A = this chain, B = another copy of it.
Amino acid sequence: MNSMNVPDIIVSRLPVYLRALQFMAETGNTTTSSQELGEKVGISAAQIRKDLSQFGEFGKQGTGYHIPFLIDRLLQILKVERIWDVALVGMGELGHAILRYQGFVNRGFRIVACYDSDPAKIGTKVDVFTIEDVNSLVPNVRSAGIKMAMLCVPASAAQPVTDKLVEAGVKGILNYAPVSLSVPNDVRVQYIDPVIGLQRMAYYLSGK
Complex-state Cα separation, A127 to B193, whole angstroms: 23
Query: Which range holds the interface residue count of chain A?
Result: 35 or more
Complex-state Cα separation, A16 to B191, whole angstroms: 10
Any B CB within 8 A of the CB of A1: no
Contact assessment for A148 and B198 in the assembled complex, using a CB-CB cutoff below 8 Å: yes
Any B CB within 8 A of the CB of A46: no
Q: Tell me how many chains of this kind the complex includes.
A: 2
Contact assessment for B107 and A199 in the assembled complex, using a CB-CB cutoff below 8 Å: yes
Contact among B78, B92, B147, B193 with A199 in the assembled complex (CB-CB below 8 Å): B78
Given contacts A41-B180, A208-B147, contact A103 B203 (CB under 8 A): no
Complex contacts, A150 vs chain B, CB 8 Å: 194
Any B CB within 8 A of the CB of A168: no
Which residues of chain A from 1 to 52 have any CB-CB distance to chain B below 8 Å in the complex? 3, 11-12, 14-16, 18-20, 23, 40-41
Complex-state Cα separation, A140 to B199, whole angstroms: 23
Contact assessment for B82 and A93 in the assembled complex, using a CB-CB cutoff below 8 Å: no
B-contacting 9-mer, from A56-64, A131-139, A170-178: A170-178
Complex-state Cα separation, A207 to B82, whole angstroms: 9
Any B CB within 8 A of the CB of A94: yes
Complex-state Cα separation, A177 to B208, whole angstroms: 28
